[in-house]
Structure 1
Amino acid sequence: MIIGCRWVFTIKHNANGSIKGYKVRLVTIGYTQTYGINHEETFAPVAKLNTVRVLLSLVANLDWSLHQFDVKNAFLHNELAEEVYMGIPLGYNTTQTGKVYRLQKALYILKQSPRAWFGRFTMAMKNNGFKQSNSDHILFLKHHKGNGTALLIYVDDMFITVNVKHEISQLQDYLSTEFKMKDLGGLKYFLGIDVA
């Protein structure tokens, strides 16, 4: 089964309302996917608000550092396990009719993209010595030589808390070898919670 695609154009604005830039994405028309034909399991865990609150209260009580990162184009890093075929995007010069693209990597709005992304991120974290929490799979923990690190991820946004500040830069350097990262500095806002 062939799924469709479309271009999505977005204007990004600064806080004062001026135009910051323009963004274009090629996205699939995911609602045309059929379970068992071009996707299987789609579930990917997301942060539990209770876990966020508990972690923030521990940070406040232990006076640990908080830092926030964002992964650029998170869903585009992931290999697809299923065979997915997509029609040719509008605007491409197609001299041959009846041709389609077989996707090697995930695109936005594919039903399996969130699961593929989380699987890839989990593998990268485990390769760096982190363990997933049994109570909440989006919480990654590492304890090494008295240094503690906790990372909580929600889709492509994450915050890190550590008891020794140099651990933040070490983790950032490692994640930058795996993904394109954006350093957002100290944590100020996460999942509707203002952090002061």
Structure 2
Amino acid sequence: VDDAALDLDALDLDDNDGPRQTSFKQAGKRKSRPSGDDDTARRSRPVRHRAGLEEASAPDVSSSRRAEPDEEEKSGDQDEDDDSTPPVFWRASANAVEAAADLSEPTTFQEAVNGPDQVHWRKAIRAELKSMRLRGVFRAAKLPSGQRAIGTKWVFKIKRKADGSIEKYKARLVAKGFKQKYGIDYTETFSPVVKYVTLRMIIAIAKYFGWPLDQLDVVTAFLYGVMKKVVFCVVPEGVELDGGFDCLELVKAIYGLKQASRVWNETFDEFMCSIGFQVSAFDPCLYIKVVDGHCVLVLVYVDDVLITGSSHELIARTKTDLKTRFEMTDSGKCAFVLGIELVDGPDGSSCIKMTKNPVNHGRAKHIDIKYHHIRDEVKRGEVKLEYCETSVMLADIMTKALAGPRHTELTAALGIHGTSH
């Protein structure tokens, strides 16, 4: 295979975003799904207009109405009533449907490059292929006798921010790993996943000590892992090979392979240990480094990386080391991670609200029922709870150690004076 292989330089990676100037060729003898009227009639996908969703509609229920003639006879002029429905309800319905299942995400390559958002999807496809080319993921090859190539598939996803707005269009080329054979294409597949208790602990530590909590994202993380088994895959849609080559040999792991996550974790773990980090005995996804009394903590969840520590300089140095080895996007202060939005709030405000309102939820289950007695006292007017800022909290002198100036300030505010000796 090595004698017949060559670098994959024939990718069509024109940077022009225009739908006409860019040509995506379908590989070899692969046949795409039929497009046009037949495909449209078969799928019956709702049309989503980009300008405000004014004409976006809910799922088509016409077939269900035809299947129930009695219901339609009773409804009478039901279609006419639907036409009189205020547009605001249609927009709300469209937003609800989109939130449940984003109708603008194509399911096939042909839908992506020929659909209404083809400019964005073509750009995302070019970015994915370019990243694979720069990483040296593939080598064009001839399939040896007795070997078989696993299939590939394009997966399209719209990544959204915490408020639901579009962050970016993402195209991912994945392998059909379910066709791999154990012992031939792979052996071990296990890779550690961060515990949620560890994630909460890191966030709590950063909040308690006032440390910065920054977030980084590894671009195409799995493409950094070097394959230990020889695996061939079919030529994906959007790529065409010359020179008699009929398949691709995977040099690096891609998404979808059974061992891809393990190979990436081994690569990241090896690098972190090489720059002085130690793996936590509590969680293998937590890395700790102590330098001159300062510590930095790095938490990794697949390709999402959180960094916090007591030294800004040490955090910056760690970021530089990571960016030197991996292509990463630095999001700065962490505001949204693993589907969790991080919002800073005043200390104690949630407790005060719970005493004034009969709120019951999962986060308060650990509080013993007897402690909810404070609600009765607040209701009777015996106790009044108000939020007090740290700068005017006189009780701090009795509950914690304070610096000299702060101690003097609070003693004076309480009317406490030192005695002369």
- TM-score (structure 2 length as normaliser): 0.43
Q: Name the residue aligned to 1:90.
A: 237
Q: 1:53 to 1:33 in 2, by over 3 A?
A: same
CA distance in 1, matches of 2:153, 2:302: 22
Q: Name the residue aligned to 1:193.
A: 340
CA distance in 2, matches of 1:52, 1:99: 45
Identify, as 1 or 2, the structure richer in strand: 1
Q: Name the residue aligned to 1:72.
A: 219
Q: Name the residue aligned to 1:120.
A: 267
Segments of 5+ residues of structure 1 without an aligned counterpart are none
* Corresponding residue SS for 1:2: coil
Superposition pairs of residues 18-33 of structure 1, within 5 angstroms: 22-33=169-180
CA distance in 2, matches of 1:151, 1:23: 26
Q: 1:93 to 1:153 in 2, by over 3 A?
A: closer
Higher relative contact order (CA 8 A, sep 6+): 1
1:89-140 residue CA offsets vs partner (Å, 9 max, x unmatched): 2344356778322110011111111111111111111111000001100000
CA distance in 1, matches of 2:292, 2:209: 18
Q: For residue 23 of structure 1, report the CA deviation from its aligned partner.
A: 3.9
Tell me whether 126-135 or 182-191 shows the greater mean CA deviation.
182-191
Q: Name the residue aligned to 1:146.
A: 293
Q: Which amino acid aligns with 2:206?
A: V
Q: 1:190 to 1:10 in 2, by over 3 A?
A: closer
Q: 1:90 to 1:150 in 2, by over 3 A?
A: same
Q: For residue 16 of structure 1, report the CA deviation from its aligned partner.
A: 7.2
CA distance in 2, matches of 1:90, 1:99: 13
For the aligned residues, what is the CA RMSD? 2.2
Question: Which of 107, 114, 117 does residue 254 from structure 2 map onto?
Answer: 107
Q: For residue 33 of structure 1, report the CA deviation from its aligned partner.
A: 1.3
- TM-score (structure 1 length as normaliser): 0.89
When Rg is computed on C-alpha atoms for both structures, the one with the higher figure is 2
Q: Name the residue aligned to 2:326.
A: 179
Q: For residue 57 of structure 1, report the CA deviation from its aligned partner.
A: 2.1
Segments of 5+ residues of structure 2 without an aligned counterpart are 1-147, 345-421
CA distance in 2, matches of 1:80, 1:96: 25
Q: Name the residue aligned to 1:56.
A: 203
Q: Which amino acid aligns with 2:201?
A: V
Q: 1:138 to 1:17 in 2, by over 3 A?
A: closer
Q: 1:50 to 1:172 in 2, by over 3 A?
A: same
How many matched pairs? Answer: 195
Identify, as 1 or 2, the structure richer in helix: 2
Question: Which of 273, 289, 302 does residue 155 from structure 1 map onto?
Answer: 302
Tell me whether 72-81 or 95-104 shows the greater mean CA deviation.
95-104
Q: For residue 37 of structure 1, report the CA deviation from its aligned partner.
A: 1.6
Q: For residue 10 of structure 1, report the CA deviation from its aligned partner.
A: 4.4
Q: For residue 36 of structure 1, report the CA deviation from its aligned partner.
A: 1.4
